[in-house]
């Protein structure tokens, strides 16, 4: 039987990384204490260091740059469609 995939909140991930960076725990100590894989905790640490406050967006919430990119792509498609309609007339 397949295991269900666990999900963790943004706050949990940040608190877990703080155990390493601020409290001085080793990655393996923190991971064992929290019941998660050490590689997962290392990945969270790397992500938080690279992306800062934009790390770990919630479900459906994109970082501002990706949200703007998605909006601009949609606008581009709309404008091309309008242009093509005007060309036919």
For the domain bounded by 1-56, which CATH number is listed?
A: 1.10.10
pLDDT digits (tens, 9 = 90+) for 4-63: 888 888 889 999 999 999 999 999 999 999 999 999 999 999 999 988 877 787 666 667
Q: What is the pLDDT of residue 10?
A: 87
* Angle, alpha carbons 60-65-76 (nearest 5°): 90
Q: Are 21 and 41 in contact (CB under 8 A)?
A: no
Give the Å distances, CA to CA, from 81 to 73, 76, 77, 88: 13, 9, 6, 11
| pTM, to two decimals | 0.62
Domain ranges within the chain, ordered by starting residue: 1-56, 60-89
Residue 6: φ, ψ to 5° = -80, 145
* Angle, alpha carbons 38-39-45 (nearest 5°): 90
């Amino acid at each position: 039987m397949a295991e269900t995939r666990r999900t963790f909140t943004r706050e949990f991930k940040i608190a877990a990384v703080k155990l390493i960076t601020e409290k001085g725990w080793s990655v393996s100590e923190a991971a064992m204490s929290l019941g998660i894989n050490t590689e997962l905790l290392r990945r969270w640490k790397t992500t938080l260091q690279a992306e800062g406050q934009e790390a770990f967006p919630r479900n459906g919430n994109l970082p501002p740059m990706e949200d703007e990119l998605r909006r601009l792509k949609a606008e581009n498609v709309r404008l091309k469609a309008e242009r093509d309609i005007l060309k036919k007339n």
